[in-house]
Structure 1
């Protein structure tokens, strides 16, 4: 990839999508905190720095948190207030919290599943305080696809009922296991059938399942979209995902809102990968924001 010329293009064009007609844009770009997971894990900066970095380094105005990076702070009001104040200072919106490590919502054990549901309550409250619209959850567990599907319907239904009291959505990402089978997850959404229960389609997390079919199946329930990237060719296109085709699927579904940058590659640095991802998203969403 011609890195030097590629990033000169970024500097020349800027990083913020602007509709010159003044009309509201159908699509905007947010930053998923996982894009910076290496730096965060090494202690280069903390979750409290995330809003500042998002705005001052990447020119974006919306963030998607990962609970791992403030795992013990969900009920620490001083901490959450500092995070909220940082967002206000830099003009950054908090969109959602990606919650991990709180138990399996598709656990076939009722007791374990109930514990998992209750473990998410604190994150619902934290999301509400921060001004998020959703928490992202996982439908992991053990059992047959049918058993786990039934368990997921129960777990998601109960958590969604609780979250509704706070005006928070509960959204499921295709995040490995059965959830990476679009049809399986779409059937769960239809069975739960609650306005605040939906999906967060990740454009890359389908493994053996056809990614374009999977996104098509999940978009009717989408309350966010995760723009996964790994590597880029010399033209700045993702090498594994046809983003032009994906954007057509997303637009055809009627979805409007943020698409996040979730860079997970290793050939570029996190900083370079995020900037490459932003430029790619700007390119593919531009025709829809005219």
Structure 2
């Protein structure tokens, strides 16, 4: 009888202990699930233009791009061709590719795309000049393929007359995309000024191109469709009326996304762009690729980059 009375409390204690362990396990599993839900739906890359002031005016070596991106916690690299112009003009694009590949491998970062500038106007009304621009872009298609990138980003300047521009840009993009397809490279149009920043007109042009490897790179900013004195860059005279609608229109063909930022308030929000609203449009479109941080403001560049990165992460948590 004594043994029976001793065993009952032991068994009861075991039941209580087991129950507590199960509750702890359930709590742990619940917390783990919650942590998974807070993971962003995208990966983070760094657009090299975020460092353009340091590179162009303050002596930063453009080949330190991978090193800086790694130190700031990024996984992917988005190169800007013009920042390497002195090097490739002297040594050639193949030598450039070799050095970039070495740097990205050193820091185990993924090469994503090359933003191509100053290689002629793909929407030039003059077909001979347009064809020349296509030829000049081909070396960057080759470079992107050699680096393991998925895309190049192109500009669509040439004319700001909508009727002339549509026919010209469709022709230029088809010719370049046809070549790029042989290298398994995408040709991406960013809202990057003039009629490319008119989302309706850009999408109409891309629908006319109708090629799987010709898509968009929606930028959160860059909505100026007309600048003073008809310049490509400078003071803006007219903007696309609804940037949030513009992003929604561009997202179905997006193969990359650029998180532009200029300035931040005391709460860490971008002063001109609703990141939560924009990210919702990106997520609703089913996009799960890289989002590139592209800071373009007045504060020190590395601080602006980190502020943009942190804003992307905090905004994504509000969507879960």
Task: Provide TM-score, normalisation by structure 1.
Answer: 0.88
Structure 2 counterpart of 1:219, from 236, 246, 251: 251
Aligned Cα root-mean-square deviation (Å) = 1.8
In the alignment, structure 1 residue 65 sits paired with structure 2 residue 79: yes
Q: Relative contact order (C-alpha < 8 Å, sep 6+): which is higher? A: 1
CA pair 20-84 structure 1, distance change in 2 beyond 3 A? farther
Alpha-carbon deviation of 1:22? Answer: 10
Alignment of 1:246 onto 2:263: no
Contact 1:160–1:197 under 8 Å retained in 2:
yes
C-alpha distance in structure 1 between counterparts of 2:93 and 2:197, whole Å: 33
Looking at secondary structure, tell me which structure has more helix per residue: 2
The Cα of 1:45 is off from its aligned counterpart by 2.0
Contact kept in structure 1, 2:113 and 2:152, CA below 8 Å: yes
Structure 1, unmatched stretches of 5+, are 1-18
Task: Find the partner of 1:27 among 39, 42, 45.
Answer: 42
Q: Quick one: structure 1 residues 76 and 206, their matched pair in 2 at CA, closer, same or farther if it must change by over 3 Å? A: closer
Tell me if structure 2 keeps the 8 A contact 1:51–1:90: yes
How far the C-alpha of 1:44 sits from its partner, in A, is: 2.5
* Mapping 1:89-168, distance limit 5 Å: 89-142=106-159, 144-168=161-185
Q: Distance in 2 between matches of 1:79 and 1:250?
A: 33
Aligned residue runs from structure 1 range 230-269, under 5 A: 230-266=262-298, 268-269=299-300
**What is the number of residues matched between the two proteins?**
269
Structure 2 distance, partners of 1:261, 1:115, is: 32
What do the CA deviations read for 1:218-257 (whole angstroms, capped 9, x no partner)?
1111111110000101110001000110011111111111
1: CA distance between counterparts of 2:279 and 2:38? 20
Q: CA deviation at 1:83?
A: 1.3
Q: CA deviation at 1:23?
A: 11
Mapped partners of 2:102, 2:317: distance in 1: 32
Matched, 1:197 2:214: yes
Q: Provide the residue aligned with 2:10 in structure 1.
A: none
- Contact 1:29 / 1:281 at 8 angstroms: preserved in 2? no
Query: How much does 1:69 deviate?
Result: 1.1
Structure 2 distance, partners of 1:113, 1:186, is: 20
The question of whether the paired residues in 1 share the 8 Å contact of 2:191 and 2:222 is answered with: yes
- CA offset at residue 25 of structure 1? 5.7
What residue number does 2:21 align with?
Answer: none
Report the alpha carbon displacement of residue 73 of structure 1 after superposing the two structures with TM: 2.1
TM-score between both structures, scaled by the size of structure 2: 0.80
Aligned twin of 1:9: none
C-alpha separation in 1, matches of 2:81 and 2:200: 27
- Structure 1 or 2, whichever has the larger Rg, is 2
- Contact 1:35-1:262 within 8 A present in 2 as well: yes
**Match of 1:44?**
59
Residue deviations 1:145-199 (CA, integer Å, cap 9, x gap): 1111110000001100000000000000111111111000010111111010001
Residue 73 of structure 1 aligns to a residue in which SS?
helix
Q: How far, CA to CA, are the matches of 2:190 and 2:70 in structure 1?
A: 25
Distance 1:264 1:23, change over 3 A: closer
